[in-house]
Copies of this chain bind each other. A is one copy, B any other.
Amino acid sequence: MPRVSSDQLAARRQQILDGARTCFADHGYEGATVRRLEQSTGLSRGAIFHYFRDKEALFLALAEEDAQRMADVVAEQGLVQVMRDLLRAAEAGDADRSWLGTRLEVSRRLRTDPDFRGRWQAQSAALTAATRERLERQAATGSLRDDVPAPVLARYLELVFEGLISHLAMGLPADDLDAVLDVVEHGVRAAARQQA
């Protein structure tokens, strides 16, 4: 009997997540049928649902992966940098487009599926916490504007972030957006410390 290492299990799980990500992005949640999931992952439905209980569990695992990845970048480099990275990815037309797709699908499901809201809340809270913590560190070093409370600035950055996701996911032009992010970035900084 062949041994299946935990590395192999993890790789298979990741293969399913990556294929499903493309499938959800291209067809939306409802349009991602089991047959399409088989095609995009290159695996049978039996294999897919061995790893994930159902389509819902698969989608939530994807959304969780994204939220964690984002929170990590926010903690290190801030939410504006996450936005700049997204912009680069969209301009390059690379796979992160599908990341955007997942995120917009989350937005739609939050609206139409009240049960989903509860399941999403924890992940959304992680990003908010990472953003606030970073801003509070910046406030402590005096690099943040101090006429507006840090939580308001955090919410401001999140709102712009949500707008950027929506904009890019719709395939709208990304020209001018670097200059827009400069406006946003300078808008949260202490005036005396404005940098290029």
- Enumerate chain A interface residues (CB-CB to B < 8 A): 25-28, 30-31, 101, 104-105, 107-108, 110-112, 117, 124, 148-149, 151-153, 155-156, 158-167, 169-172, 176-177, 179-180, 183-184, 187
Contact = CB atoms under 8 A, between A and B. Distances in A.
A148 B31 contact: no
Contacts of A158: 163, 167
Could you say how many copies of this chain the assembly holds? Answer: 2
Contacts of A101: 111
Contact of A28 (B112, B152, B153, B156): B112
A180 B163 contact: no
Nearest to A148: B183
Given A112-B26, A171-B110, A166 B162 contact: yes
A33 B5 CA distance: 48
